């Protein structure tokens, strides 16, 4: 099956045991910059969409109201 080639095995030079990695618990303001920028981009898209919906709804209400008042 699989055989280990003894020539490819390297001796471990640093024999100290490293500290295990543990997650760092931080506040939201100190989060990773990548995720903060992604959240900002998503927030900007959401606000732009809401602003466009409000604009078109007000414009359509004005047009419909103007049409109904003119008749």
What tens digit of pLDDT does each residue of 1-56 get? Answer: 567 777 777 776 766 666 656 556 666 555 566 666 667 777 788 889 999 999 99
Q: Using CA atoms, how far apart are residues 67 and 71, in angstroms rounded to an integer?
A: 7
Q: Where would I find the H helices in the chain?
A: 33-70
Q: Is the pLDDT of residue 57 over 80?
A: yes
**pLDDT for the residue numbered 51:** 96
């Amino acid at each position: 099956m699989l055989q280990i080639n003894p020539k490819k095995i390297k001796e471990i030079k640093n024999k100290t045991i490293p500290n295990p990695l543990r997650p760092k618990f931080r506040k939201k303001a100190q989060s990773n910059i990548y995720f903060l920028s992604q959240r900002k981009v998503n927030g900007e898209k959401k606000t732009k969409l809401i602003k466009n919906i409000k604009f078109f709804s007000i414009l359509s209400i004005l047009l419909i109201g103007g049409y109904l008042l003119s008749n």
